Amino acid sequence: MRRPPIHSRSASRLATGGQAAAPEADPPAPAQESGAANGLPSNGVPNGLPSNGSSPAPEAHPARQATVDRALKSWGLWHADAPHAAALRWLSLAVLLLGLTVIGLLADRLRPQPAPLTEKAVERLITRSLQTQVLPSQAARAAALVAPSVVHVGSYGRAGRGRVPEELAEGTGVVLQDSGVVLTNWHVVQDADSIRLTFADGTESLATVRRKSPEKDIAVLQALRVPDDLVAATLGSPDQLQLGDQVVVVGFPFGIGPSVSAGVVSGKDRVYHSRAARQQLERLIQFDAAANPGNSGGPLVNAAGEVVGIVTAILNPTQNGTFLGIGFATPIDEAASAAGQAPF
């Protein structure tokens, strides 16, 4: 039997100086493609891109895509395995938005337009408002108009040492001029040593007699202190009064006030002998609005709030000083003329 040849290692040791020869290195691996050295896959295409070189489809927003999917599912238009599901979703969303836009436009067109505001429509609205609101009466409106011009008049005697002046009489006045000129009855102040006025705003002032006409029972007073916002009364023509016309009396009966009473014109051109004025008065206006001591010198007012007379006397056969339904007023034109002022 033939033996394999035995190779001697001595020759190699001799060639290397007695040391073992180093093993031969493995042959180098075949070089990979240049793309691997650049961080690319072996096929040379970046990760995430298809091998055919086409761009990837953009990813839809998850929340928005879920909303669209739910809408399509509810309509039966969504199939997960449909080849064109994404396109169908976006098309359905576009149709939905278009439908909503059309509905909004139609709703705006079909909305009822307001009718144009005409003069007749305004009149109907005003009439309806007046029918549903409770307006103040004529007497209330007239009293409110004259109230800022009504004054309380107090007449006082001479004060002794350490004594308060005694009030001799009290009545009512009406502001004739905003400079502090006040019209009242002469019999209210004829015995006074001092006169004190109280205006509507509470201002108090001493006053002097500026002018008097005893035959008309009229006195003109001048306030020494005048409120800044003093309002003069508006005067009206007594000739325009008719029997039955509504009138208002404003004053301080028995010192209470200002008080308002309403009535009508009962007569004109009346003649009355006044005990308080101590003479006969003529051309008086008769009225039935309540008047009592303290109303003397106050205004008789028509429905428009204009002063048409100065309350002068009441007819009282019983002598007890109370009102029995007949009062008299001096026409304002005569009262103003006696005061030296044209009434109109």
Residues tagged active-site: 187, 217, 296
Burial class (CB in 10 A: 0-12, 13-18, 19+), 307: buried
CB atoms within 10 A of CB 322: 13
Burial class (CB in 10 A: 0-12, 13-18, 19+), 297: buried
Beta-carbon contacts of 28 under 8 Å, excluding residues fewer than 6 positions away, are none
β-bridge mates for residue 175, sequence order: 182
Spatial separation of the C-alpha atoms in residues 281 and 272, rounded to whole Å = 5
Which helix (H) or strand (E) is 15 found in, with range? helix 10-15
Is-contact 191 168, C-beta < 8 A? yes
Query: Both tokens of residue 141?
Result: 């409106």
Nearest CA to 227 out of 282, 266, 177 is that of 177
Beta-carbon contacts of 173 under 8 Å, excluding residues fewer than 6 positions away, are 150, 151, 152, 153, 182, 183, 184, 197, 221, 297, 298
What backbone torsions phi and psi does residue 276 show, to the nearest 5 degrees? Answer: -65, -40
Query: Both tokens of residue 184?
Result: 């009242």
Computed from CA positions of residues 35, 41, 45, 48, in that sequence, does the dihedral angle turn out positive or negative?
Answer: negative
Spatial separation of the C-alpha atoms in residues 282 and 265, rounded to whole Å = 16
